[in-house]
Amino acid sequence: MRIKGNSPKFLSAELLIEPMVLMVPTTLTDSEGGFTVTYAAGSTIWGMYVPLGQDRQLLSAEVTFTDSARVYIRYPLTFDNTYKIQINGLDYTIHSITDIENRKEYYEITIFR
């Protein structure tokens, strides 16, 4: 599959060699009437990690981050931007999820930490 931007020109399943853990959010109530969100390890997925520099989309959202990247994974997988992705022991927050060319084949996920 051909993709745009500063990522590889073509995407295929054999390029998805980086193990990643999808971190599932759980909301717990505390003793003072508030809520705490914790994350538990969910499924291990295989993807491609592409580091980014300053990303305009993240800068326009006024997000403070130290590291940003794009991750490519196979479709189908049920998750949303409340989940986190753990790569090499580091937790990344999901900024956006895009179905590449709406073909229901690969996701492009913009992440930061």
φ/ψ bin of 101: left (φ > 0), alpha (ψ from -120 to 50), beta (otherwise): left
pLDDT at 30: 84
Name the pTM for this structure: 0.79
Q: Where are the domains of the chain?
A: 13-112
pLDDT tens for 84-107 read: 999 999 999 999 999 888 888 899
pLDDT tens for 21-80 read: 999 999 998 888 899 999 999 999 999 999 886 555 556 666 666 788 999 999 888 899
The answer to whether 58 and 111 are in contact (CB under 8 A) is no
- The answer to whether the bond into 76 is cis (omega within 30° of 0) is yes
CATH number of 13-112: 2.40.10.270
The answer to whether 95 and 110 are in contact (CB under 8 A) is yes
